[in-house]
Chains A and B, each alone.
Chain A
């Protein structure tokens, strides 16, 4: 159905309300075939609603939605055969084991790659013989991830898939996504962790209150981010606070603590070097900070 070069997902001006509550308020999203696209935003910003529209579970109020060359509401059955989905909060059937759920979902998708399934179980260190009710949140998430990654789906819709995983499993997940990308498959990865998006995504879209506020490659979005720096210098660090791009600076003779726009980072570091840097720590920008700063109002703080 989809033409070569056509976007895997193309959403324009999507609106969706639940009663009086506006979940999506003119959302735009474009995901090219073969890319890993980060779908970023604070909790409650409409990421899950968008994904559920793409799955054909919700009927859009207005706006244009195209996925894999079809209309998700009208062609849900055909389109869903070509995608795999991992929900943010994985709820499984009690009394059925993880292995059985993986097989069931695989069969409902029209087949499962048994070798890959077993490899994934090993990679994610998941015991398939345990009943679903006894799995922790992370383990339930692994069940859904193994089921999705073991499929041959050309599009993966992943809704905060790592929120319950420990760091070791998160790196296993990142390896899997790189592998998926090498195979030329498309991934829509919703997240509220910027570092995860940085590690995996070709492009990201940032949404807030049901509306897309930024979209582009991460380097294009660099101007939105700031790095926090704490530095101890041999000569007094005076004058740092006056540099362009430096914010919230606290300077006490040999110590300085400040935030710097990522675009100005290079210039500021060059100014620090002649002062004789004895120690320096920098923390990467977080999405939460970015939201607080860039769109700063209390609604984004959730």
Chain B
């Protein structure tokens, strides 16, 4: 273990730009949820009614957790945010440990470190300590935010500790996976699969007898019941399992060669399949993983929103102050709720579109674009190949959202027809999303260096308009600058073809203008 502490200092330095964002994300999740929940369900009666509604809603329980948490307003906050915060903290730990163990070994960076006076176990030890420190920090932040927004102190300590405990388990799981697999992708893939299993097990357990929830680290965290009984001992289960897994990882490390895994990597194809025969085939191959991730995320979000669609009318009758957040007010509550959620999913789909278009810039700056453009591939063919992913991918993410929301809502109201209906609702936003894609292409074409900043500012602007326009009392012209405002709020509004057509044409014009810029400038600068 010689050298663990100097290495830990080095890792903290390497993480100084990335880690704060993860911690900020978890903090914001809890902060926003605490404010929102205390506004909506602040009174004992409101909470009581919510519990009655949700006790009968299996979809909501599967997404969130056991309704026993709804004993107090603090427990309600834990109920709403714990699974999401767990997923974020688990991913943070997966990347922290994976990046500084297997990924470094694969890239050869670790070899340089190991050649110094550093023990064999030191890099893994330092990565686990780093993850532990990050988890403690996340726990402290959750505690501070919870207690700071007026929740009981004892429950807040337990809330923070339970979140940190989920993180520690996934750090240790990643450490084991990093010994088993030879490349970092396989490590991330296997841990993400386990995270999905942890979510699914606790969902099934919470809906059923509860037994399956005890097989999931997220379930252990929820069963500490912060603010709803404050049970401490499930934390020992998390820490014990994490400790055993950590020791297992250290033992496995000593049984393998540097750079090798316990499971050797499978060799890839020696020749390219027919799919990898042109630029769009290459672009899809490069981006299929990210697209699948975004589509799965939006699909899950759709399930989450759809699962409470049926309860929303009841909510609004019980809590009239919610109505002000819905475009249609108290009348036609469900449709305006569905329109609102579809609008939010469109912002996320647009964010995906931006990441996909910015890949064009990454291809350029990495030098990989040179290899393609040095063949008889025109700049238009190259751009179109990359754009095909962004244009079709945004559609697929919206379909995934509509599918999730339609399936969950349709199951609640026993109407399978909701699936095609809500897919259609989500797709109504596609022209507006394409317009954002077009704006990003324009930036990449004419202002390649600040393109990423420009695109994210556009997304941020549209988000502010969509979410805060009324609270900030923004003037009309500033709202109309967002393409999403011009999309009819289906199913609350009727479908209008003209604005959708205009948005699509504008998107096409922006793409054409962006191409004109790309065609006349140097590649890579």
Contact = CB atoms under 8 A, between A and B. Distances in A.
Interface of A: 18, 52, 55-59, 76-78, 80-81, 83, 85, 87, 89-93, 95-97, 99-105, 107-110, 127-131, 133-134, 144, 157
B366 A100 contact: no
Contacts of A107: 272, 277-278
B516 interface: no
27 contacts: A18-B522, A52-B524, A57-B522, A59-B521, A76-B373, A80-B374, A80-B377, A87-B367, A92-B368, A93-B368, A95-B286, A96-B268, A96-B286, A97-B268, A99-B271, A99-B272, A100-B269, A102-B272, A107-B277, A108-B372, A108-B375, A108-B377, A128-B270, A128-B271, A130-B267, A133-B183, A157-B374
B219 to A, nearest CB: 34
Contacts of B370: 52, 55, 57, 85, 87
A99 B522 contact: no
Interface size class of B (residues with CB under 8 A): 35 or more
A107 B522 CA distance: 25
B497 interface: no
Contacts of B268: 96-97, 99-100, 129-131
B161 to A, nearest CB: 38
Interface of B: 106-107, 183, 185, 265, 267-272, 276-279, 281-282, 285-286, 366-368, 370-378, 520-525
Contacts of B107: 133
A76 B370 CA distance: 12
B276 A100 contact: yes
A104 B270 contact: no
Contacts of A89: 367
Contacts of B106: 133-134
Contact of A129 (B270, B282, B521, B524): B270
A52 B270 CA distance: 30
Given A96-B276, A100-B276, A134-B106, 17 more contacts: A52-B523, A55-B374, A58-B522, A58-B523, A59-B522, A80-B373, A80-B377, A81-B376, A85-B370, A93-B282, A104-B281, A104-B282, A108-B279, A128-B271, A130-B267, A133-B106, A133-B183
A97 B273 CA distance: 11
B218 to A, nearest CB: 30
A212 to B, nearest CB: 22
A99 B374 contact: no
A242 B469 CA distance: 90
A31 B39 CA distance: 77
Contact of B276 (A76, A103, A128, A134): A103
A151 to B, nearest CB: 9
Contacts of A78: 376
Nearest to B367: A91
A87 B286 CA distance: 21
Contact of B378 (A77, A90, A157): A77
Contact of A57 (B277, B279, B523): B523
A97 B525 CA distance: 28
B368 to A, nearest CB: 5
B267 A104 contact: no
A89 B281 CA distance: 24
Contact of B376 (A90, A102, A110): A110
Contacts of B265: 131
Contacts of A96: 268, 276, 285-286
Contacts of B285: 93, 95-96
A88 B525 CA distance: 18
A87 B366 CA distance: 12
Q: Top 4 A-B pairs ranked by shortest CB distance?
A: A81-B376, A103-B272, A129-B267, A97-B268
B159 to A, nearest CB: 39
Contacts of A129: 267-270
Contacts of B270: 97, 99, 128-129
Nearest to B288: A95
Contact of B271 (A83, A92, A93, A103): A103
A123 to B, nearest CB: 16
Nearest to B382: A108
A29 to B, nearest CB: 18
A129 B270 CA distance: 5
Contacts of B525: 18
A133 B184 CA distance: 11
A149 B378 CA distance: 22
Nearest to A151: B375
B267 A77 contact: no
A57 B368 contact: no
Nearest to A147: B371
A109 B183 CA distance: 31
B221 to A, nearest CB: 34
B364 to A, nearest CB: 10
A57 B523 CA distance: 5
Contacts of A127: 267
B60 to A, nearest CB: 38
Residue with the highest number of chain A CB atoms closer than 10 Å, among B185, B371, B520: B371
Contacts of B276: 96, 100, 103-104
A95 B185 contact: yes
Given A18-B525, A91-B366, A91-B367, A57 B374 contact: yes
B424 to A, nearest CB: 35
Contacts of A95: 185, 285-286
Given A77-B376, A91-B366, A105 B371 contact: yes
Nearest to B365: A91
Nearest to A121: B270
Contacts of A103: 271-272, 276
A97 B269 contact: yes
Given A89-B367, A105-B371, A77 B271 contact: no
Contacts of A76: 373, 378
B524 A57 contact: yes
Contacts of B377: 77, 80, 108
Contacts of A55: 370, 373-374
A109 B272 contact: no
A90 B378 CA distance: 21
A51 to B, nearest CB: 9
A36 to B, nearest CB: 19
Nearest to B380: A77
